[in-house]
Amino acid sequence: MNIDGESLTLDALAAFESERPRPVLAPAARARMSASCAAVARAVSEGRVAYGITTGFGAFARKRISADQVIALQYNLVRSHACGIGAPLAAPLVRRLILLKANSLAVGASGIRPEIVDALLALVANDVLPRIPERGSVGASGDLAPLAHLALALIGEGEADHRGEVLEGAAVMRAAGLEPVELQAKEGLALLNGTQLSTALAIEGWLRARRLLGVSLLAGAFCVEALAGSYAPFDARIHAARRLRGQQAVAAGMRSLLTGSPIHDSHAGCDRVQDPYALRCMPQVFGAVHDTLAHAGSVLELEANGVSDNPLVFGDEVLSGGNFHAEPLAFVSDFMAIALTELGNISERRSDLLTRQVNPRLELFLTMEPGLESGFMLAQVSAAALASENKTLAHPASVDTIPTSAGQEDHVSMAPWAGLKLLRISENLAHIVAIELLASAVAIDRMRPLATTAPLEALHARIREHIEPHEHDRRLDRDIAAMAALVLDGGFDNLLPDTPIVW
């Protein structure tokens, strides 16, 4: 895997977890980094004023630092900013964060030696994963506190997980085949000042959202058949008239799944003129989600190859700006949170339709013996509870700000919280959609010997590989958990329609 500061893709980051290629700093990036590092050294030797190099940080930006203190300044920064709180990030997120940090530094505008990136990549290559708390960042100036814990590991003062053991101090870098890093001018600041936690969380949310949109499309089409719904709302002419790309792509996906079936033929003469919105308006709702994810993906891929620390080095100039501000990431995490919440809202409505005899062939709550049994009554309640929770979690984090550093950092993004909320919403959504899939599968069972479409029969078979048919009341929590895990782990990915959608 070539780390060059310009060609890292979201798909490559996703594939890294399963393929684990060895990441290596590209020669061109190494040359750029060396040049910017030399420029920093010249700024120090010439006594120039450069933020975070020959000055203090934040509210101490006007405090000059002498040449003999520039190294101590960097160590003090790392140690004092290691104020992370909460559970350590999951291993895949730590790997992704390190790759993102390495790729950002590889651009060659941060004034840091290539040996530092080599050290970061050695941690990943040897699966030595620094313990990085998930909370404590407001997303400007970058993700300071969490990234300080990464820097602590590099300098031999942090902790890391490796092969089931917790390593501390110099043992961390030695497990990666190196000695602890000795920081030079600006290097602590370059490591801490960046949006890599915010980006890693948002990318994880995007990857989950992409999968969840695909499974929602499967579940929605499955539910159309389970409710003996109409295919007419997916007619290409309707969606071409509105011109929205995502809506047209989703409708095409629906048409590829709803290809005609004995179930569909069985209600050809029914008197239902229109289906409820939760069925009829799926292309409009899912299409809006699609377009939100397409926008978010474009922003995230640019950020993955951008520079988000401060100050930046251009030739011999050291310029102070604000690329550390994670507002773009906060926005897209919030946008995705809203989009996934809507997928959950409309899925829960379809689960409700499945339980109240919209399809006259089905008993109330999908029971076999109404009254004696409760069927899916409480499964729908659980879906409603999670949908409600998501509505609260979808409140935008990016509209909040609290000034920090004595008012010097007077507007912040809250992007990490936006990302953490997004992941919680995605987990809830997986369970909401799992309930819909389980209920639809029961509905299809109850309509036998009538069959659904070939693509949806494959979906039904996949569900039944993991979940036994529901004939009488039994506990459903384990079925829901197993189905949600299958959703999140990609168990339905190979059943997705071949249409131009973001997956």
Task: Take residue 324 and report the two structure tokens written for it.
Answer: 């550390």
Task: Take residue 442 and report the two structure tokens written for it.
Answer: 């029961």
DSSP 165: E
Which candidate in 51, 75, 231, 277 is catalytic? 51
Contact 348, 384 (CB under 8 A): yes
Q: Which residues on adjacent β-strands are paired with residue 64?
A: 55
DSSP 139: S
The Cα 181–Cα 183 span in angstroms is: 6
Q: What is the four-CA torsion angle of 198, 199, 202, 208, rounded to 10 degrees?
A: -130
Instruction: Give the 3-state secondary structure of residue 129.
Output: strand
For residue 389, give the nearest of 431, 327, 328 by alpha carbon.
431
Q: Which residues on adjacent β-strands are paired with residue 189?
A: none
The Cα 122–Cα 218 span in angstroms is: 41
Give the sheet arrangement for strand 159-162, strand by strand: 129-130, 159-162, 165-168
The Cα 444–Cα 450 span in angstroms is: 8
The Cα 352–Cα 358 span in angstroms is: 9
User: In whole angstroms, how far apart are CA 80 and each of 188, 273, 414?
Assistant: 11, 67, 21
Q: How are beta strands 2-3 and 24-25 bridged, if at all?
A: parallel
Residue 231 annotated to the active site: no
Contact 214, 492 (CB under 8 A): yes
Q: Which residues are catalytic?
A: 51
